[in-house]
Structure formats: structure tokens, C-alpha cells
Amino acid sequence: MHTKYLSIYLDLGLLLTIVVPLLALLCWWWNEIWYVRAVKAKCLAFNTKVPPGHLGLPFFGETFLFLRFFNKIGRPDDFINSKKIKYGENVGVYRTHLYGSPSIIVCSPALCKLVLNSSDKFKQEWPTTEVLGSNSVITLQGPRHGLIKSFIVNYINRPDPLTRFLVQAQPSIVEALQLWAQKPKVTALPELQKVTLAYTMRYFSGIEAGTQVDKFKSLFEGCRRAITKRLKEELERRKQKSENNNKNGEEIESSDLMDGLMQMKDKEGRQLSEGEVLDNIVSSIHVGHASIAFVMTWSLYFLWKSPHVLQKLQEENMNMSWEKNGESLTYEDIMKLKYTNKVIEEIIRRANQSSFVFRKATDDIEFKGYMIPKGWSVMVWVRYLHNDPANFEDPLSFNPDRWDTRPAHGTYLPFGGGPRSCPGSTLVRLSLALFIHHLSIGYSWEVLNPDFKVNYFSHPLPSDGLEISLTKI
Ligand code: HEM
């Protein structure tokens, strides 16, 4: 009997002192052995190094650590800071394992620029095209991407469409602010999403959401098929109209992006397919309205927290408003608002809507003695560039005057860079200009729950949607 118990104790002791620690050790080093060993051998041959870091646990990698910084303690930049402390201040490139794949984190300005500008070496990949559509410029690759992207960039950023954008967006913003001031409390984010949805839909597709804006909002929040169906009806209507015009020998007038894409031809003189037109309209409205509403929401918070900034903004915009005598702001007017433009840049920097941009290395790439292995994910950690004290002094303070001098090359990339940079950056800046102009000249407001938690997935946003009360001044 005694010997039986003794052998159980010995087995247990063996398990706890040798087997469990061995298993834990194996777990800890598994990813390093599986993914990094082969790369290290290659590095030896090329006299390079694997970027410092650790790939964490099998399958999960560093996901738990990442979630701890982003979700639990709400200090996302400390994920990178912890790596800096461990592996060195000036490295700017680290290895990790996130989103199910061995990855290289890039947060040095030079390497961020290199990755974004080298689309042949660092390819963009989406896990699914279900939400954005397989023909959208966001998911397309190669020459077709280049063709449609340059058309969209040129089309929406010409003076005429930009003037039309301002004329269409302004009344929606003015009307929303008037309505909010009549309510005791407003949740800014969903309300702003309705405003931006109404005017981006009008701008890209000519569809008036009107009183049906809630219905359209839920269509955009639901599945892509439903909203595509609605936009297809509009496309069919236009096709019919253009056929009638052709029969009558009348000129077809192109006014919005949908018209433009319908008439656009590729090098062989072929028009875009219906799917290409629709996917690009749906994704432009989808991405465009949401992201503009996100930065507008943050503008309410940052301006409320910085009364001295608001006062200067108000003075400049009051002067402009008197000059304009109630007329709508034009592009030229907005360019004259020097302080307002600095405020806009600071809102975009602090809002940090795109935390990172994903790429995949198509080859082994060497950078300053480090190897980025072929097939690994590359995460351009944009938000860290904007919150790194090496790039922006006292980065977490809201200080528009920092924009008196231009940031160093590669340190400010809110809209990405290179061939896949954001085509909507001007629309964002103009939208913010209109919003903070009408807000500052006409209203005061209170943030009702200033201690809100920030949700960092998938975009940094106040978890309560930012509850405010607005008063006409
Ligand atoms: C604050 C607002 C916005 C931010 C921070 C933002 C940020 C970005 C970033 C970082 C990229 C590059 C992604 C990559 O390199 O993989 C991008 C791409 C894109 N953005 Fe924006 N964006 C904003 C607003 C808009 C708006 C208003 C539109 C509407 C037209 C838009 C449409 C697009 C499209 C179509 C792409 C894909 C471009 C391509 O792959 O070639 N974005 N955006």
C-alpha cells in the first residue's frame, strides 16, 4: 500500500517538476523554433539579423499581450513601448505573431515609407472581400487597381467635384447641429454617421437619403448585398437614361463618381463592368462616411477639452462668417483659415483612425541589417508614428500650434502612403473644416461622460458614442 502511494507521489512530483516546466518551455519556444529558426539560418548566409522580438505562444502568438494593452488597460502605444524597453530604443522593427501569422512590426519612419511605397515587395492582402467587394479599389491588385484608383483620385479631387462636395455637405451639417441643439442629449457618433452617410451618398451616387437615412444606415451596417441592390437600381436608371439620350442624340452629362465610373474606359476602350462600378461606389460610401464621422466625433471631444484652442478657432471662423455674410464656405475660404487647418491636422493625428496598415512580404527583404522574411505579415504601425515623442513633442497633448512646422519625413502617415494611399484625405479635411466652422461659430457643448472608455477595435472610438448636450450661442 505504502509503496503504491509513494510511486504516485513520485510520478506527480516528476510531472510537476520536470514534465510541466518542459511543456511550458516548449510552448514558449515553439513559434520561435517553428518560424524563426529557418529564417535565422538564412540571415547567417546574408549577414543580416531577424528583427528582435518573440513570437509568443503557439497559434495565439502575442495576441493576449496585444489585447491587454489595447482592450484591458487601454494604453495601446505601450505595446510598442514595452518592446522598445526590452529590445532597444532605436530599432523600429520587431518580430511578433499576431492575427494568426508571424509578423514584422514596423514603426520607424524610414521603414514605414519603404513598405508603403514598395507595393511589389509588400503586397496588400485582405482575408475576405465579402464586406468591400472583390472589384473595389481597396481589394483590387495590379494594373486594374492602378487604373481605377487613379481615375477615382483624379475624379473626386478636381475643383468642380470638390465645390459640389462642399455645397452638398454644408446644409446637412448645419441642419444636424440645429436639430441637436433642440434635444437635451445627443449621442454624437451615430448621429454624425447619419449626416455623413447622407452627403457621401449624394456625392458619390446622387441618391438622396432624406427621411430614409436610418434605413440606409442599417443597410450599410448590414450585408453588402442589400445596399448593392439599392445602388444597382440607381445604376439601371442611369443606363436607361443614357440610352434614351443616345437615341435623341443628346450629350451625356457626367456629374458624380457613379456617372464617371460608368463612362470610364480602360486602355482597350472597354467600359468597366457593372460589378466594378457598384463595388467602388459601395466601398467609397461605406469607408468614407464611417471614417469622416469618426474624426468628427473626436473633434467634439478634443475641442471641448481644449477651451483655449476652441476660442482661437472661434475667433478665426467668426471673422470668416462675417466676411461671408451667411454664404456657404468655398474651398478657397477654407484654405484661408490658417488656424482651423492646423486644428484639423491635430484632430486627424490624435484621432489615429487607422492604427496599422497590413502588408505581406513577397520576398526576403533586407533593411538596415534586418531581414523581413518572405511570406510574413508586415504591420505598418501608423499610430505609433503619431504618438512617438521622437516624432511629435508631448504627443498626447492636443496642440494645433505644433503644425507651424511640418513633421519630419515619414512621421505623419494617417492616410497611408504610396500607391495604396487614401483617395479620401481631401474629403476628410473639408468635412472637418465645415463641421468645426459651423460648430464653433454657433454652439457651445458639454461632453456628458468625459471618463468614457475608448474601444480601440477596429477603430479608436468612445465606447458610449460620445454623449453631448449642445446649446445655441
Ligand atoms: C479619417 C478618415 C480616413 C482615414 C484615417 C483613412 C485612412 C486610410 C489609410 C491609412 C488607407 C491606406 C490603407 C493601406 O495602405 O492598406 C486608406 C485607403 C483607402 N481609403 Fe481612406 N481614410 C479615411 C477616409 C476615407 C474616405 C473619406 C474615403 C472615401 C473616398 C476613403 C477611401 C479609401 C479607399 C478607397 C482606400 C483604398 C485605396 C487603395 O487601396 O488604393 N478613405 N485610407
Q: Is the CB of 287 under 6 A from ligand 1?
A: yes
Q: How many domains does the chain have?
A: 1
CA 472 to chain centre: 32
Domain assignment of residue 66, yes or no? no
Domain assignment of residue 443, yes or no? yes
Position 226 scores a pLDDT of: 82
93: left (phi over 0), alpha (psi -120 to 50) or beta: beta
Domain assignment of residue 460, yes or no? yes
Q: Is the CB of 196 under 6 A from ligand 1?
A: no
Per-residue pLDDT of the chain (473 residues; tens, 9 = 90+): 567 777 777 777 777 777 888 888 888 899 999 999 999 999 998 899 999 999 999 999 999 999 999 999 999 999 999 999 999 887 899 999 999 999 999 999 999 999 999 999 999 987 677 777 889 999 999 999 999 999 999 999 999 999 999 999 999 999 999 999 999 999 999 999 999 999 999 999 998 888 888 888 888 887 778 888 889 999 999 988 878 777 766 665 668 999 999 999 998 999 999 999 999 999 999 999 999 999 999 999 999 999 999 999 999 999 999 999 878 899 999 999 999 999 999 999 999 999 999 999 999 999 989 999 999 999 999 999 999 999 999 999 999 999 999 999 999 999 999 999 999 999 999 999 999 999 999 999 999 999 999 999 889 999 999 999 999 99
CA atoms of 171 and 173, how far apart (whole Å)? 5
Closest CA to 180 of 439, 450, 433, 430: 439
Cell numbers found for residue 261: 465610373
Domain assignment of residue 41, yes or no? no
CATH of the domain at 260: 1.10.630.10
Nearest CA to ligand 1 atom 37: 138
Position 251 scores a pLDDT of: 60
Report the interhelical angle of 274-305 vs 224-247 (nearest 10°): 120
Position 248 scores a pLDDT of: 67
Q: Is residue 468 within 8 Å of 185, Cβ to Cβ?
A: yes
Specify the amino acid at residue 67.
Answer: L
Q: Is the CB of 353 under 6 A from ligand 1?
A: yes
Position 125 scores a pLDDT of: 80
Position 253 scores a pLDDT of: 61
Domain assignment of residue 360, yes or no? no
Q: Is the dihedral of CA 98, 101, 107, 113 positive or negative?
A: negative
Position 149 scores a pLDDT of: 97
Give distance in angstroms: CA of 199 to centre of ligand 1.
18
CA 289 to chain centre: 12
Peptide linkage before 108 cis (omega within 30 of 0): no
97 bridge partner residues: 102
Domain assignment of residue 18, yes or no? no
Position 1 scores a pLDDT of: 55
CA atoms of 351 and 348, how far apart (whole Å)? 5
| End-to-end Cα separation, the chain, in angstroms | 89
Q: How many CA atoms within 13 Å lie on the side-chain side of 394? A: 6
Q: Which atom of ligand 1 is nearest to the CA of 382?
A: 10
Position 252 scores a pLDDT of: 57
Domain containing 422 equals 142-354+414-472
Q: Rounded to a whole number, what is the largest CA-CA distance in the chain?
A: 106
CA 389 to chain centre: 22
Pocket probe for ligand 1: among 287, 294, 359, 383, the residue whose CB has the most ligand atoms within 8 Å is 287
Give the Cα-Cα-Cα angle 156, 179, 299 (nearest 5 degrees): 55
Domain assignment of residue 383, yes or no? no
Nearest CA to ligand 1 atom 21: 422
CA atoms of 216 and 306, how far apart (whole Å)? 35
